[in-house]
Structure 1
């Protein structure tokens, strides 16, 4: 029984290592694959929500915008890789892309902390207006994509 457990554990470790090694070599998306909005809302729907729910929507939209807007000259949707755009997938470009991802994460961590501390003091109507504005901006990215 002990041999079976050892062999299964070894097989699990080797399988995990193989999958992990493949993921490191996989092309990375220029726009984070987490930069998506699950649902757009209207004024009436937002008005019926509690401030805490609105704050989460507000933060989610900020994250998507920060992960998308700097790259719209290259891509407007998550999943597009450097190779898709004809950008050499070499170590130098990968390093820049990785550095940008780290900088974006750092910026978002700071921004989200600030939003969670300060936005509860905002007027609910202003929060709703901001969410609708952010959603409008995100929808216009689809139009921007259609122009190209």
Structure 2
């Protein structure tokens, strides 16, 4: 009896896993990652009150958002727009190209974040603040880009 329950549970697990994997392949692909967002924009006074470690994290986060956004501004400037919205065919060729680009971006960001976390602690706090404000200005201008 216990063996039957075990076999049925395992079979159910495999079936649900297989159906979830197929749904993932059919899901529309967002041109800009849904993680390419900034939760809060800061002003110079707020940044000045933060410790250097938090400034480094903010800097790394903003570089990541820019890297996930800038290559695609000719198509979209905000997360959620899909390939299908632009009439890009749902073929395996385009999906493979898109997924390859996503993987390359992820690898780049992982390497860049690791590098920044090693090097940026040696930078001047005021320069980190300037960099964060510069990155945020670029991101704000992307929101205005749609209005052009």
Fold shared per TM-score above 0.5: yes
2:44 paired with 1:43 = yes
Q: How do 1:1-148 and structure 2 match up within 5 A? A: 2=2, 3-147=4-148
Cα separation, 2, equivalents of 1:49 and 1:9: 51
SS at match of 1:66: helix
Structure 1 position 120, deviation (Å): 0.4
Give structure 2 stretches of 5+ with no counterpart. Answer: none
Output one character per residue of 1:10-46: Cα deviation in whole Å (capped at 9) or x when no partner.
3233223212210122121111111111111111111
Q: Which moved more, 1:113-122 or 1:10-19?
A: 10-19
Q: CA RMSD in A?
A: 1.4
Report the alpha carbon displacement of residue 5 of structure 1 after superposing the two structures with TM. 4.4
Q: Secondary structure at the match of 1:65?
A: helix
| In structure 1, distance between residues paired with 2:75 and 2:64 | 18
Count residues in correspondence: 147
Structure 1 unaligned blocks of 5 or more: none
